[in-house]
Amino acid sequence: MDFNLSNLLEKQISMKYVAYFVGACLGVKLGAFILRSAIKKVKILIQKRKVKKFIQKRNQDLKNLQIPATNLSQDVIDKVLNGDITQLKKMLEAKTVTSEDLVNIFSKRVQQHGIEYGVVTHLKYEEAIQAAKECDKLRKENSPLCQLPLFGIPISMKETFDEKGYPATIGSIFRLDYIPSEDGFCVKLLKSGGAIPFLRTNVPQAAMIYESVNDVYGRVLNPWDKTKYAGGSSGGEGAAVAARMSPGGMGSDIGGSIRIPAAMCGVYGFKPTAQRTIMSGHTFYSKAFNGQKTVLCASGPICKSVDDLILFFRQLSDPQYLQKFKLHERDPFFPTQQINESELSNNKKQRRFGYFKTLKSFDCTLANQRAVEIAVDKLRAQGHQLVEINLPDVDSIKNGFIQFLLSDEFEGIYDLLSKEATVKEYIMIDIFAQTPPLMKRILSVLFYMLGEKSFAELLPQTNRLRVEELNRLQYKIGQLQLDYLRLFDDHEIEAIICPSFGAPALPHSSSIDSTPVCLYTFIWNYLNFPCGVLPVTKVLKEEQHFNNSRIKELPAKRVDFYMKQNTEGLPVNVQVVAPPFKEETCLNVMKMLDDQIQFYKHNSFPELK
């Protein structure tokens, strides 16, 4: 055996240097990490202080704003607050009120309640009152412009739409200085029709969850019950309309963001096919997020009636209004389609519609099922035929949508947030996005053993997708779209009546552990079908539970727990779905239902306490 002491010593010495070197590297790395974290913490602290000052100033400005009292009678003011836009238009025509009155009345209410309910991000009073005066002048001159769908009507905009001079933060503290130097296209289009954007409304941080809360503007409270969420991401819109701070406004929807707040607040919301209303002018998120085309976002209105949804739809979709703009402004790849007036006012008898009351993948509450029953009965009473249908492949949609959402490990959204921490309502998404694939496999087995089968199945499917995997997902979506169209063909149905959401408005932060309730909205984003929601009924005393759920896993137990927390009397909406580009059919069926149900003829808007 060759035993050489000096050789060994040499080896040990050189090992020592290697150890020193490795140690030093690790030390530097650790030091850099600590330094980076510290810098990040300080940056966030500085930014939060800036946000605080910014909010104090905004609050002070809103409080100090001098809004002249109108000399209208209380009766007329009530009519303005309770009326829909269609009625406001009649009042303007009859010269009972002026646009200036409307801006003053709604602004006053925003001043009184907007901050308390977390609804307002900015009131654009000065600009709106100028525009209102302009409209009043044109009306006096009998200008033909007065015939435009939203002429002289104050409207609200979700904060995610670009408006000149106002931050579009998407609830992110590092976007305080993101202030567009001109209006986005959507705002331009609405203004060109005489609408008066006067209010910007709150959203969730990054607008990707269905509870509206962020570290800039705070939390939106549901006007029906402050302890419940108002839905999201157009939560400020839903709450503003139900609280009568705005007669109607614009939201956007990639998983239910128009329909959920509308349903939680008992008002009307409409999500068109993504290519039927233009998205240009919706604010920039991040290059990765804005570049994704798997599931498209759509913009659409939240209002107090179906008639008003139609007014917005006209202004947003009618080619005659779009054609006023240059090609690059309105996007030449955006197909323009004439509005089919005869379908919008279709009053044929004996039409056929499909319906379903609940989904096996995750049942909805009894109140939501009863809302569908009411709608179905009303249509039957009108002589229409209703057939119960089974949606194909719902589980594949359920998992596919989450897969899509996490296909980039949420990087598009983390980019938007820069270094800001997510609010706690993002915890599930953070876990999905940040757990390494192997760990997910291990956790999946554990959850399976704990009886959480759905979660166990979902978890390993939430990894970053390779391009070919994303292509496969998109191919699958295309197949599903055809399968769902076959459903319309085979049953010879024009539209589907179904639940608006899995539950009524639940307590704040409950979205963390009851997420599957939004299955009922995102199905239709995944397929890109037009759909809308309208209020039908209220939760009954005996419906305050969820033990009708066939799935007994944690999210269902949580919904049961939340349903028991005084949900009686909360509004419940129903949803109408039509095939792609059949917006007219969807709105027509919604109108038919609304004429029969007339929720706000039998119920009043919530009193703000």
Ligand X SMILES: *[C@@H]1O[C@H](CO)[C@@H](O)[C@H](O)[C@H]1NC(C)=O
CA–CA–CA angle 508, 513, 514 (5° rounding): 80
Residue 222's nearest CA partner among 544, 570, 559, 466 is 570
Q: With CB under 6 A as the contact rule, which of the stretches 117-125, 228-236, 342-350, 480-488 interacts with ligand X?
A: 342-350
Choose among 466, 468, 398, 410: nearest CA to 435.
410
Q: Which of 134, 343, 395, 483 binds ligand X (CB under 6 A)?
A: 343
- The pair of three-digit structure tokens given for residue 40, joined into one six-digit string: 């990040």
Report the nearest approach of ligand X to the CB of residue 545 (Å).
4
Residue 339: which of 253, 240, 257, 272 has the closest Cα?
272
* Residue placing its CB nearer to ligand X in the complex, 343 or 393: 343
Contact between 340 and ligand X per CB under 6 A: yes
Scanning residues 219 to 238, which ones bind ligand X (CB under 6 A)?
A: none
Shortest Cβ 510–ligand X spacing (Å): 17
**Pick 346 or 461: Cβ nearer ligand X:** 346
φ, ψ dihedrals at 348, nearest 5°: -60, 150
- By CB under 6 A, tell whether 71 contacts ligand X: yes
Please give the single-letter amino acid code of residue 468. Answer: E
Chain position carrying tokens 């019950």: 225
Residue 579 and residue 485 in contact, taking contact as beta carbons nearer than 8 Å? yes
Measured from the CB of residue 309, what is the shortest distance to ligand X in angstroms?
A: 18
DSSP 420: P
# of chain residues touching ligand X (CB under 6 A): 7
- Pick 365 or 537: Cβ nearer ligand X: 365
Interface with ligand X in residues 534-563 (CB under 6 A): 545, 547
- Return the range that interacts with ligand X (CB under 6 A); candidates 188-196, 205-213, 335-343, 521-529: 335-343
> In this structure, are residues 351 and 494 in contact, taking their beta carbons and an 8 Å threshold?
yes
Q: What whole-number distance in Å separates Cα of residue 459 and Cα of residue 286? A: 26
Distance of CA 85 to the CA centre of its chain: 22
- Only one of the segments 221-229, 340-348, 394-402, 434-442 lies at the binding site for ligand X (rule: CB under 6 A); that segment is 340-348
Residue 390 binds ligand X (CB under 6 A): no
**Quick one: 343 or 395, whose CB is closer to ligand X?**
343
Output 122 or 582, the one with its CB closest to ligand X.
Answer: 582
Strand 154-158 versus strand 196-201 pairing type: parallel
The nearest distance, CB 577 to ligand X, in angstroms, is 18
Closest CA to 531 of 499, 555, 571: 499
As measured in angstroms, the least distance from the Cβ of 218 to ligand X is 33
568 lines the binding site for ligand X (CB under 6 A): no
Q: What is the DSSP string of 112-125?
A: HHTTTTT-EEEE-H
If the CB atoms of residues 320 and 547 are measured against ligand X, the closer one turns out to be: 547
Nearer to ligand X, 491 or 545 (CB): 545
Whether 363 contacts 550, CB under 8 Å = yes
User: What is the chain's percent helix, strand, coil content, to nearest 5?
Assistant: 50, 10, 35
Task: Yes or no: say if 189 and 250 are a contact pair by the CB < 8 Å rule.
Answer: no
The rounded distance, in Å, linking the Cα atoms of 356 and 246 is 33
Q: Which two tokens stand for residue 253?
A: 């929807």
Smallest distance, ligand X to C-beta of residue 339, A: 10
How many angstroms separate the Cα of 566 from the Cα of each of 226, 418, 436, 507, 599?
A: 12, 39, 40, 10, 21
| Listed ranges 240-248, 336-344, 362-370, 457-465: which one lies at the site for ligand X (CB under 6 A) | 336-344
Of residues 483, 564, 492, the one with CA closest to residue 523:
483
Least separation in angstroms between residue 549's CB and ligand X is 10
- Stretch of 153-161, 212-220, 337-345, 400-408 contacting ligand X, by CB under 6 A: 337-345
* Residue of 74, 142, 342, 604 that binds ligand X (CB under 6 A): 342
Smallest separation (angstroms) from ligand X to the CB of 572:
18
Determine the 3-state secondary structure of 453 from DSSP. helix
Place of tokens 């166990």: 456
Rounded least distance, CB 386 to ligand X, Å = 19
**Is 112 one of the binding residues for ligand X (CB under 6 A)?**
no
Residue 537, H or E segment: strand 531-538
Quick one: tokens of 109? Answer: 């209410």
Distance CA 413, CA 410 (A): 6
CA distance 199 to 113: 13
Least CB distance to ligand X at residue 539 (A): 13
Q: In angstroms, what is the minimal distance from the CB of 186 to ligand X? A: 25
Q: Is 513 helix (H, G, I), strand (E, B) or coil?
A: coil
* Nearest to ligand X of 94, 467 (CB atom): 94
Among the candidate windows 35-43, 120-128, 339-347, 499-507, which touches ligand X by CB under 6 A? Answer: 339-347
Q: What Å distances lie between residue 37 and 175, 431, 434, CA to CA? A: 20, 20, 18
For the bound state, the minimum distance from the C-beta of residue 342 to ligand X, rounded and expressed in Å, comes to: 4
Q: Looking at 346, 385, 396, 509, which residue binds ligand X (CB under 6 A)?
A: 346
Binding segment for ligand X among 30-38, 148-156, 338-346, 370-378 (CB under 6 A)?
Answer: 338-346
Smallest distance from ligand X to CB 71, Å: 4
Judged by beta carbon, residue 147 or residue 338, the one nearer ligand X is 338
The span from the CA of 1 to the CA of 95, in Å, is 111
- Site pattern 498..537 for ligand X (x: CB under 6 A): ----------------------------------------
Task: List residues binding ligand X (CB under 6 A).
Answer: 71, 340, 342-343, 346, 545, 547
